[in-house]
Chains A and B, each alone.
Chain A
Amino acid sequence: MKKADRKRSVPLLELAHARSGDKGDTANVGLIALKPEYYPILVKHVTAARVARHFKGMISGPVERYELPNLHALNFLLHGALDGGGTISLKTALLRLELELPK
């Protein structure tokens, strides 16, 4: 069996919920594990680089990540997210992300 076959694609929506807000041109998305045991999966797979790739073309600046193990949550700061204005919903857009997890 090839290694690739042992992976499965899981939508982030099944592992986490989220809330977003903004300050100036920076948006934040708080990503919260639906169960405590999902938190380490988020820490490992939902990296700042992965989130930056997901939002490519939608934000113009870098992505920062902070960990809140006490709340089983990650906080992402998306810089240059609001320049275009408009009605973008970053929290649900982030939950579209698909993770490649071991079976």
Chain B
Amino acid sequence: MSGELLTATGVRVEFATRGGQVARALDGADVQLSPGEVLALVGESGSGKTTLARTLMGLEKPAAGEVRFGDRPLDYSVKGLRHLRRRVQMVLQDPAGALNPRHTVYDSVAEGLRIHGLVDGDPQGRSETETVAAALSSAGLRPPEALFLRYPHELSGGQRQRVLIAGALAMAPDLLVADEPVSSLDASIRGEILALLLKLREELGLGVLVVTHDLGLAWNIADRVAVMYLGRVVEQGPTEEVLSDPQHPYTQALLSVVPETERMEPVVLKGEIPDPTRIPGGCRFHPRCPALADGTAAAAGVADACRGTALPVLPADPAGHVVACHLATLVGQAGESSS
């Protein structure tokens, strides 16, 4: 396999609304995930982060652009998607809702194996029971046999989340897609689950795409962060750079409202993400942008560009720190020429 595991290039996903309008949930998003990498997609509700994750898994078919898995474009045939889903496994947000209450832990974990007929073709010749036991213990549920016949209601929230992760691990995937993996869990369990994701990357070389609105989670585990706003990635780069030195006013605002960040004056953005049937012209963030509202953009001479000039789609360069903002681009260039 080449350097990239999963890439999206210029992906656009549209949904028809009841009024006959078209909501553009993704409007040209580029991301790239390398094997063994932890990438965090962050943004508010409605930013398109979950749609992007679903598109990368082949659950949404893009109206334009392309998703590639390894060196091939995604195959949307039944067989192609079946193959993809063995390699890319999803861990859902709400473990209480995602587990069938009438299935035992054993059946929940074995279900994927049975659907994909993986037991007979196991490369190490393991039985179903052995594979399920190994997956449970990789997910930190030990001894696994003690949990086989338990039902979801007998488990704690953290244990349920581990069962879901075990179900994904049983398939020996290359990539886990985790949508808000800890947001419904207690603070005390949160760290345990995040540590498990890191351990799996370490031991199995598993790549993880984590969708979250929690920037602390990104700081805890992600190698890279892509910040999304209204269907596009607006800032992307190594976690240390994006979260310690955010360039986009939107990223800065998101960081400033994380509770107990003393070093920043909170910038509480008014309202919510605009309706994706009417994406604002110019920079899509300009109606809520604090730098435009307080005159910083005007002083730098980019206010007209903010209102009228659309920004290009950011490249999914895995090494660089890129930002889609007229003001930040200008400041960045000035910084480069002076140094």
Partners in one complex: no
Residues of B within 8 A of A (CB): none
